[in-house]
Amino acid sequence: MSKPVTVTQAAAMLSAADRVLILTHQFPDGDTLGSGFALCRALRALGKQAQVVCSDPIPEKYDYMFEELPVQDFEPAFICAVDVADAALLGEGLLPYADQVELCIDHHASHREYERQLLLDATMGATAMLILQVMEQMGVTVDSAMADCLYTGIATDTGCFKYSNVTPLAHRMAAQLIEAGAHSESINRAMFDIKSRARLALEQLALSSITYYYRDRCAVMVITEDMMETTGATENDMEGLSPLPRQIEGVWVGLTLRRKDDGNYKVSVRTGNHADAAQICGLLGGGGHARAAGCTLSGTVEEVTEQLLKAVATAVPRITT
Amino acid sequence: MSKPVTVTQAAAMLSAADRVLILTHQFPDGDTLGSGFALCRALRALGKQAQVVCSDPIPEKYDYMFEELPVQDFEPAFICAVDVADAALLGEGLLPYADQVELCIDHHASHREYERQLLLDATMGATAMLILQVMEQMGVTVDSAMADCLYTGIATDTGCFKYSNVTPLAHRMAAQLIEAGAHSESINRAMFDIKSRARLALEQLALSSITYYYRDRCAVMVITEDMMETTGATENDMEGLSPLPRQIEGVWVGLTLRRKDDGNYKVSVRTGNHADAAQICGLLGGGGHARAAGCTLSGTVEEVTEQLLKAVATAVPRITT
């Protein structure tokens, strides 16, 4: 069992620490990276050694987060995980640290405890919001680079202030971060707007693959290796595809299936206010948030789809009527 | 020449007025309608008669703005235009009022004066932000329905807090409006996420039509009547298509051409920070904002494209090198 801590307690722990290794989750996104690099910059501003690590390569579009931030090599004395909801999400490269995590800062309601101390607040739309509070408690002045990192975390995890997890606090923090120098426009352009031509082509193929179930209230999109090859799309072109099926008029549950190298399917579930994505994935050994969750399933695409449709019907009985 | 007025002066004028007719612009969007219906509700809350009018039908997705707001029929004693940057934008149905507008509240830098008094602030991302300030000066308590209208105006005109026109004030007002009861999630879902299947099909056809110029820095998308017919898309499915060409990696200027019933082309110009859309459209008798502007051109699609490419080269000489 982890010991729950407050923002003030987490700040005190970090203020007392040095040689801090910051762990982010695999398939890194804007929130885990923004949280990690903001915290890293804050700790260095206080004269400490700190370094962010990730088991996967960091997509190029996040490069601005660690510009002019030289890599520091040290024997860690304090290990802190950010936005890592489950030890398994550390990924292979960081798994050896799983039982050495002193503090985890997270906002996932589905968090599975693995750390000694846990700062968890599921009312926060992004872990970056907790990091900002911790930084303020540590007496750090948020500079423009930190503001860019934190703004990225909040913007990406709230779908640019669009999702149900947006609170007045998220907006007020965004205002504060823009005042502190966050380059909101170029960040949003890079995170949400810009698509490579390969991505555009992939999106069109993926959309054509959609099949509908339960009187068109459930939409299933499948992304195959063929599509990736045909379009020349890379891993970086994949982000942001999973919300698409749910965006179709009348769809309650949007499912995106993607075959992984090991033959399993990575499944992403998105829902509106008629269905709980975490509940659906919970039935299949996965987890996440109410409107966005995931799981991994094995079998053929037909078998995986059947498993998913059953879970959808169990979690959302109304969808079948 | 219009007389410029402050928020306080505009509030005083409206507080002294009754039987207020509120004019919105043609092809109404979330900001003109949100501004109009919020102001209408505020004036009625103060015991006045007020009515919003528009020369075009209001798309269904904005229905929530005037639920339980019965139509009032009266002889106008005070005419106020909101978000109408030019008398021509009143549209045919409201043009007779053009020289009777007592007050206009607007945020377009390209505003062309036609009204007696003008409250103009181009630093505001949306006219709805000015309306909120005016309402506060009038002593109106913002209720949930007003908050929905104003939030819609801010969210739609800032691309859900994504564009360059977002300020800390826009975020703080969003926070305030959510606290006042704005249903931000369902509004954003309706405004930004949900696409009909016809719209999805239209989008795919439109994207396939894109041609590139100036070393792929300029992308031209053409929407034809054929595409509309093939997909069964309606006028309501058109909104939000024009940002697409600019969202392609490397594109500085995105142009969307659409043939109108009178044979002319309605052109929408979107730019990143390398080019000024209002400047490009200004060369062709149009106008708008720095990142989003429009104009109307006549000729064949080839002739219109040629005119546009020339204007782009004139306004953005670097694009040709």
Inter-chain CB proximity B197 and A249 less than 8 Å: yes
Contact assessment for residue B266 and residue B258, using Cβ atoms and an 8 Å cutoff: yes
Percent of chain A with pLDDT over 70: 100
User: Chain B residues within 8 A (CB-CB) of chain A?
Assistant: 160-164, 166-169, 171-172, 174-176, 178-179, 184-186, 188-189, 192-197, 200, 204, 207-208, 243, 246-249, 272-273
Please give the pLDDT value at position A34: 98
Closest partner residue to A194 (CB to CB) among B172, B175, B247 is: B247
- What length is written for chain A? 321
How far apart are the CA of B196 and the nearest CA of chain A, in angstroms?
A: 5
**Token code pair at residue A222:** 């499948």
**Token code pair at residue B170:** 């826009």
Which amino acid, B37? F
Q: Which chain A residue has its CA at the smallest distance from B169's CA?
A: A175
Of B172, B177, B123, the residue nearest B147 (C-alpha) = B177
Q: Which chain A residue has its CA at the smallest distance from B247's CA?
A: A194
Q: What is the pLDDT of residues B90-138, one digit of tens each?
A: 999 999 999 999 999 999 998 999 999 999 999 999 999 999 999 999 9
β-pairing verdict for B20-23 and B50-53:
parallel
Of A29, A28, A31, A35, the residue nearest A50 (C-alpha) = A35
Please give the pLDDT value at position A160: 95
Query: What does residue B299 show for φ and ψ, rounded to 5 degrees?
Result: 130, -175
How far is residue B280's CA from residue B316's CA, in Å, rounded to a whole number?
8
Q: What is the pLDDT of residues B142-192, one digit of tens each?
A: 999 999 999 999 999 999 999 889 999 999 999 999 999 999 999 998 998
Contact assessment for residue B157 and residue B106, using Cβ atoms and an 8 Å cutoff: no
SS3 A78: strand
B290 or B8, greater pLDDT: B8
Inter-chain CB proximity A178 and B166 less than 8 Å: yes
Please give the pLDDT value at position A321: 86
How far apart are the CA of B164 and the nearest CA of chain A, in angstroms?
A: 5
B274 or A88, greater pLDDT: A88
How far is residue B4's CA from residue A129's CA, in Å, rounded to a whole number?
41
Please give the pLDDT value at position A163: 87
Inter-chain CB proximity A197 and B166 less than 8 Å: no
Contact assessment for residue A275 and residue A282, using Cβ atoms and an 8 Å cutoff: no
Q: Which chain A residue has its CA at the smallest distance from B193's CA?
A: A247
Q: Which CATH class is domain B197-320?
A: alpha beta
Is residue A144 classed exposed, middle or buried when 0-12, 13-18 and 19+ CB atoms within 10 A define those classes?
Answer: exposed
User: Chain A residues within 8 A (CB-CB) of chain B?
Assistant: 160-164, 166-169, 171-172, 174-176, 178-179, 184-186, 188-189, 192-197, 200, 204, 207-208, 243, 246-249, 272-273
Over residues A16-31, the mean pLDDT reads 96
Over residues B285-304, the mean pLDDT reads 93
Percent of chain B with pLDDT over 90: 83
Cβ density class B79-107: b for 16+ within 10 Å, e for less: bbbbbbbbbebbbeebeebbeebbbbbbb
Q: How many contacts, defined by CB atoms under 8 Å, are there between A and B?
A: 102
How far is residue B288's CA from residue B267's CA, in Å, rounded to a whole number?
12
**Token code pair at residue A125:** 């739309």
Q: Contacts of residue A194 in chain B, CB cutoff 8 Å?
A: 247-249
- The DSSP 8-state label assigned to residue B241 in this structure reads -
Highest-confidence segment of A41-50, B269-278, B285-294: A41-50
CA distances from A79 to A101, A138, B208, B271 (A): 5, 17, 49, 44
Residue B239 has pLDDT above 80, yes or no: no
The CATH number of the structural domain formed by A3-140 is 3.90.1640.10
Residue A236 has pLDDT above 80, yes or no: no
Cβ density class A222-236: b for 16+ within 10 Å, e for less: bbeeebbeebebeee
- What length is written for chain B? 321
Which amino acid, B271? T
Give me chain A's average pLDDT, please: 95
Residue B236 has pLDDT above 80, yes or no: no
How far is residue B235's CA from residue B74's CA, in Å, rounded to a whole number?
31
Inter-chain CB proximity A193 and B243 less than 8 Å: yes
How far is residue B165's CA from residue A178's CA, in Å, rounded to a whole number?
12
Give me chain B's average pLDDT, please: 95
How far is residue B13's CA from residue B308's CA, in Å, rounded to a whole number?
43
How far is residue B62's CA from residue B30's CA, in Å, rounded to a whole number?
8
Over residues A74-91, the mean pLDDT reads 97
pLDDT band at A36 (very low <50, low <70, confident <90, very high): very high
pLDDT band at A173 (very low <50, low <70, confident <90, very high): very high
Q: What is the pLDDT of residues A267-303, one digit of tens each?
A: 999 998 889 999 999 999 999 889 999 999 999 999 9
Q: Which residues lie below 8 Å from residue B317, measured CB to CB, with a gap of 6+?
A: none
How far apart are the CA of B132 and the nearest CA of chain A, in angstroms?
A: 17
How far apart are the CA of B88 and the nearest CA of chain A, in angstroms?
A: 31
Please give the pLDDT value at position B260: 85
Q: Which residues lie below 8 Å from residue A282, measured CB to CB, with a gap of 6+?
A: A110, A293
Of A300, A288, A242, A296, the residue nearest A83 (C-alpha) = A288
Torsion angle defined by CA atoms of residues A158, A162, A165 and A170, in that order, rounded to the nearest 10 degrees: 70
Please give the pLDDT value at position B227: 93
Which amino acid, B260? K
Q: What are the sequence ranges of the domains in chain B?
A: 3-140, 197-320
**Token code pair at residue B14:** 């409206």
Neighbours of B26 (CB within 10 A): 17
CA A123, A125, A130 angle in degrees (round to 5)?
A: 80
Closest partner residue to B172 (CB to CB) among A171, A272, A273 is: A171
Q: Which chain B residue has its CA at the smallest distance from A178's CA?
A: B168
Q: Which of B184, B191, B242 should we substitute to test contact with A (largest number of A Cβ atoms within 10 Å)?
A: B184
Is residue A96 classed exposed, middle or buried when 0-12, 13-18 and 19+ CB atoms within 10 A define those classes?
Answer: exposed
With a threshold of 0.90, does the pTM exceed it? no
Query: What does residue A202 show for φ and ψ, rounded to 5 degrees?
Result: -60, -45
Please give the pLDDT value at position A237: 82
Of B255, B254, B247, B259, the residue nearest B223 (C-alpha) = B259
How far is residue A144's CA from residue A147's CA, in Å, rounded to a whole number?
5
Please give the pLDDT value at position B38: 98
Residue A307 has pLDDT above 90, yes or no: yes
Q: What is the pLDDT of residues A10-21, one digit of tens each?
A: 999 999 999 999
pLDDT band at A60 (very low <50, low <70, confident <90, very high): confident
